[in-house]
Structure 1
Amino acid sequence: MTGRDRTVLVGIGGWDGAAEAVRWAARLAEGRDLELELVHCLQTAAPAGFGGPGVLFPDSPADSGCLAAAGADLAVSVEDAPPVRNEVYTDSAPALLIDRSRDARMVVLGRTGTDGVSGMLAGATAAAVVSNAGCPVAVVRGRRGDGPVPLDGPVAVGVDTSPNSEAAIAAAFEEASFRKVPLVAVHAWADVVCDAIERTARPAAERDPRRQPVEERLLANRLDGWQEKYPDVEVRRKLVRDRPRQVLLEESERAQLIVVGSRGRGGFAGMLLGSTSQALIHHSSCPVLVVRPETRR
Structure 2
Amino acid sequence: MPGIITVGLDGTDHSLAAADWAAAEAVRRGARLRLVHAWIWRPLDVPVAADEAVQRRWAAEVLREAADRVTAGFPGLSVTREILAAETVPALLSAAAAADLLVLGSRGHGTLLGYLLGSVGLQVLRQTGTPVVLVRSPRPDAAEQPRDEVVVGVQDALESDPVLAFAFAAAAAQGVGLRAVRAWNIPPVLVWGGEAMRAADDAGGLEPLERKRLADAVRPWRERFPQVKVVEHVEMGGAGQVLLAGSARARLLVVGRRSPGRHDLRRIGAVAHAALHHAPCPVAVVPHA
* TM-score with structure 1 setting the length: 0.76
Shift of 1:145: 9.4
1:177-188 to 2 correspondence within 5 Å? 177-188=172-183
Residue 95 of structure 1 is aligned with which of 90, 105, 108? Answer: 90
Question: In 1, distance between residues paired with 2:252 and 2:205?
Answer: 32
Per the TM alignment, residue 213 of structure 1 is displaced from its structure 2 partner at its CA by 1.6
The residue number in structure 2 matching 1:10 is 7
- Counterpart in the other structure of 1:160: 155
**Deviations 1:179-234 (CA, angstroms, capped at 9, x unpaired):** 111110100123353889xxxxxxxxxxxx93212211111111121111111111
- Within 5 Å, give how 1:258-277 maps onto structure 2: 258-263=253-258, 272-277=267-272
Q: Are positions 1:251 and 2:221 aligned together?
A: no
Map 1:210-289 onto structure 2 (within 5 A).
Answer: 210-263=205-258, 272-289=267-284
Which of 19, 22, 44 is the equivalent residue of 2:19? 22
Aligned identity (percent) is 31
Deviation at 1:282, TM superposition (A): 2.9
1:270–1:22 distance in 2 versus 1, CA, 3 Å: closer
Residues of 2 paired with 1:237 and 1:171: CA distance?
A: 17
Cα distance in 1 for partners of 2:19, 2:63 equals: 11
Amino acid at match of 2:248: E
Segment drifting more, 19-28 vs 136-145: 136-145
Q: Residue 93 of structure 1 aligns to which amino acid in structure 2?
A: T
Distance 1:238 1:151 in 2: 19
Which residue type is aligned with residue 252 of structure 2? L
Partner SS, residue 252 of structure 1 = coil
Cα distance in 2 for partners of 1:182, 1:237 equals 11
Match of 1:204 in 2: none
Contact 1:258 1:288 in 2 (8 A): yes
Distance 1:172 1:113, change over 3 A: closer
Q: How many angstroms does 1:23 deviate by?
A: 0.8
CA distance in 2, matches of 1:143, 1:164: 31
Distance 1:28 1:120 in 2: 26
What is the deviation of 1:35? 1.0
Distance 1:122 1:60, change over 3 A: farther
Question: Larger helix proportion, structure 1 or 2?
Answer: 2
Q: Which structure's CA Rg is the greater one?
A: 2
**1:12-49 deviation digits (Å, cap 9, x = unpaired):** 11765111110111111122221111111126xxxxxx
- Write the mapping of 1:164-203 to structure 2, written as runs, cut at 5 A: 164-191=159-186, 193=188
Indicate conservation of the 8 Å contact 1:113/1:123, yes or no: no
Aligned length: 260
In 2, the alpha carbon distance for the partners of 1:7 and 1:149 equals 32
CA distance in 1, matches of 2:253, 2:275: 8
What's 1:110 paired with? 105
Q: Does the residue aligned with 1:291 lie in a helix, a strand or coil? A: strand
- Kept after mapping to 1: 8 A contact 2:110/2:277: no
Contact 1:188 1:240 (8 Å CA) reproduced: yes
Q: Which moved more, 1:187-196 or 1:80-89?
A: 187-196
Cα distance in structure 1, aligned partners of 2:2 and 2:144: 26
Secondary structure of 1:86 counterpart: strand
Q: CA deviation at 1:95?
A: 1.4
**In the aligned structure 2, how far is the partner of 1:89 from the partner of 1:145?**
34
- SS of the residue 2:85 aligns to: strand
Say whether 1:76 aligns with 2:75. Answer: no
1:129 to 124, 128, 139: 124
1:65 and 2:60 equivalent?
yes
One-letter code aligned to 2:247: S
- Consecutive unaligned residues in structure 2, runs of 5 or more: 41-53, 192-203
Other structure's SS at 1:13 match: coil
| 1:253 match: secondary structure | coil
SS in 2 for 1:61: helix
Q: Is the 8 A contact 1:150 1:286 kept in 2?
A: no
